[in-house]
Amino acid sequence: MSRREEARQVLRANDRGGYTVPTDRLYPFQWNWDSAFVAMGFATFDPARAWSEIEWLLRGQWEDGLIPQIVFHAPSDDYFPGPEVWGVGRSPPTSGITQPPVLATAARRVLAAAAHEEGEARMAAIYPRLRDNHRWWAAARDPHGTGLVATLHPWETGMDNSPAWDRALDRVPTATRTDIRRRDTGHVDPAFRPRAIDYQRFIHLVEVFCDTGWDPARMLAASPFRVADVGTNAILLRAEQDLLDLAIRFGTPEEAAEIAGRIARMEAALERLWDGRLSHYLARDLIAGEPIPLRGSAGFLPLFAGQARHAAELAERLEEWGRSVRALVPSTDPGHPLFEPLRYWRGPVWAVVNWMIAEGLRRCGQEAMADRVAGDTRGLIAAEGFSEYFDPLTGQGIGGGTFSWTAAIWLLLEGEEA
Ligand code: GLC
């Protein structure tokens, strides 16, 4: 069977009747940014199914516009923390935090793959929900209009245990009232997963937010973890650009102007995350009021939003990293002492991040490096299958072989090659 056919089968097998789980057992619900990539993957062969992925995710959207990180459509004992720990009191149950907002970008791409009448109608129904979500980001996470949104939990960055969060996370107490019953380490080797102490802090934050009644302003004020993640901000800027295109077609001129205003502010603010000393875009610790001096794969994502000013330096950095790893792009600078090639977001290569970086490099005129990153990604998947992530030093696939978003990226990369 061809890899393409296998990729389609992974998506079909992880389909739970309209929405897709990231993988069986380890992640038995619908995850926000996973689904955005999955929708783009489905769009390459089944656009109707792609729309349904997005629509199911939006069933979990809150009235204030938040699109949760997880929607618990059906009960499962395979995952912790489940709905009872979050206690958001909604149906369907959801978590109370979010994830990088890839959805508007995905919706625009699904529409492009299926610009027939049905696509137009489904997009018209979805557009107001995306508009509300971007308004939520601005109101809940950047109430003073700085142009950078705050992230309140490492899980919101999608890069759960990145060493970039270590110091900011040190401030978070480890005390929890919840009994921590991890399920992930029963499914995969604990050495490849976040540590126990990370989990205590992750759950402590959930409890702090729960105690605010999930009120966005109180959460922002109460959170002992508050960062401007360069990845989330770059992805949001890109999503705003895609939303602007949709607003012109499905919204009003006032909405388009509102979005354009936010884009201008965000473009300027993102540039302030550039660090001349490390020649990289860095996240900012909003509590300490200082940059987080660690180069990570997220620092390449401003290219995905078309920020081309430092494109050549970033391509050079990739060239340099490429000399010490077998496959680009390691999630953490391979020359940094905190680089761990096997542990989740502390070193491994993730196909979805690679795809955004390759797109960004292409958009910013760095074709050769874009081809290299895309080629490395295809090479890893061709050799190892649809793993959750990959060891950049050996290319070994880690975390099981049937991940939806890795399959989706294979389909996207194949489409681009053709
Ligand atoms: C992990 C990843 C996150 C992903 C989720 C489901 O928590 O860190 O980015 O969305 O798994 O695949």
Angle between helix 404-417 and helix 3-13 axes, rounded to 10 deg: 140
Cβ(165) – ligand 1 distance below 6 Å:
no
Catalytic pick from 34, 53, 142, 160? Answer: 160
pLDDT of 193: 83
CA atoms within 13 A on the CB side of 247: 20
70 CA to centre of ligand 1 in angstroms: 10
pLDDT of 189: 86
24 CA to centre of ligand 1 in angstroms: 13
158 CA to centre of ligand 1 in angstroms: 6
Which atom of ligand 1 sits closest to the CA of residue 344? 8
Residue 336 has φ and ψ, to the nearest 5°, of: -90, 140
- What residues have CB less than 8 Å from 213, skipping those under 6 apart? none
pLDDT of 84: 95
Residue 280 has φ and ψ, to the nearest 5°, of: -160, 155
- Count CB neighbours of 69 within 10 A: 24
- Secondary element (H or E) of residue 291: strand 290-291
Catalytic pick from 34, 198, 359, 388? Answer: 388
Report how far apart, in Å, the C-alpha atoms of 70 and of each of 6, 67, 96, 97, 156 are.
26, 9, 8, 8, 10
Cβ(403) – ligand 1 distance below 6 Å:
no
Angle between helix 230-250 and helix 103-113 axes, rounded to 10 deg: 40
Using a cut of 0.85, tell me whether the model's pTM lies above it: yes
pLDDT digits (tens, 9 = 90+) for 316-346: 999 999 999 999 999 999 999 999 999 999 9
Indicate if 290 belongs to the active site. no
d(CA 46, CA 119): 12
Cβ(79) – ligand 1 distance below 6 Å:
no
Cβ(198) – ligand 1 distance below 6 Å:
no
Q: What angle do CA 361, 366, 371 make, to 5 degrees?
A: 75
Which atom of ligand 1 sits closest to the CA of residue 404? 12
pLDDT of 417: 67
- Count CB neighbours of 31 within 10 A: 24
Closest CA to 82 of 161, 198, 180: 180
Cβ(158) – ligand 1 distance below 6 Å:
yes
pLDDT digits (tens, 9 = 90+) for 18-38: 999 999 988 999 999 999 999
Which atom of ligand 1 sits closest to the CA of residue 159? 8
Residue to mutate (ligand 1; options 160, 198, 199; most atoms within 8 A of CB): 160
Cβ(160) – ligand 1 distance below 6 Å:
yes
Residue 333 has φ and ψ, to the nearest 5°, of: -45, 115
Residue 160 has φ and ψ, to the nearest 5°, of: -40, -55
Residue with CA closest to ligand 1 atom 3: 158
* No. of helices (H) and no. of strands (E), the chain: 16, 9
Indicate if 267 belongs to the active site. no
To the nearest 10°, report the CA torsion of 156, 129, 111, 403.
Answer: 30
Low-confidence ranges of the chain (pLDDT < 50): none
**402: β partners:** 386
Cβ(388) – ligand 1 distance below 6 Å:
no
Q: Which two tokens stand for residue 205?
A: 């934050």
d(CA 9, CA 55): 21
